[in-house]
Structure 1
């Protein structure tokens, strides 16, 4: 398998986390997964994003959260290169699951 492109993984991850955070069950699942893989405070960051989006302003809120997550994930993968592949895989799998749930 080729090495994932960090910028692509960061953007894909940001999009997936924001999309998943619209639903409490998905947000909790993602928060738990990130805490297990990267450690605290990553799970809390997911829940904070969810809270901001719930009281936010639709597209603008989602766009802001996506930008924040893109930077966070980029920094995380630079600090923890061992997480690049697991993050790329979970983002790909979650995208598939979210699509299937929406169908």
Structure 2
């Protein structure tokens, strides 16, 4: 039995940041991530991830990454509030995606 306490707002924040990073990454990483998110949260999340990827690629806004990340943070907080059983899975997916992202700098 795991006795660790999970801070859902932090899990949502970290997941949203990584989600935005993955959404501008190469197609292979993005496809893997979409599959993982859809398996964890449901197929509608795949569609929404595709919309985010398109928005990040086409928007002229300089703050598009912040806007998309903020929208996802709120959405993920909501899902964690209503489905707390996915907290650990989302946290593990965030960690797995982070190590797959290319290092910059």
TM-score normalised to the size of structure 1?
0.88
Equivalences for 1:9-88 in 2 at 5 Å?
Answer: 9-23=11-25, 24-57=27-60, 59-88=62-91
Q: Which runs of 5+ in 1 are unaligned?
A: none
* Structure showing greater relative contact order (alpha-carbon pairs closer than 8 Å, 6 or more residues apart): 2
Q: Which runs of 5+ in 2 are unaligned?
A: none
Equivalent pair of 2:40/2:90 in contact (CA under 8 Å): no
User: Alpha carbon RMSD of aligned pairs, Å?
Assistant: 1.6
CA distance in 2, matches of 1:87, 1:46: 15
- Among residues 87, 92, 97, which one is paired with 1:94 in the alignment? 97
Deviation track 1:36-65 (CA, whole Å, cap 9, x = no partner) reads 111120111111100000001364110100
Q: Which secondary structure does the structure 1 equivalent of 2:24 belong to?
A: coil
TM-score normalised to the size of structure 2?
0.86
Q: Which secondary structure does the structure 2 equivalent of 1:30 belong to?
A: helix
CA distance in 2, matches of 1:95, 1:19: 9
Q: Looking at CA atoms only, which structure, 1 or 2, has the larger radius of gyration?
A: 2
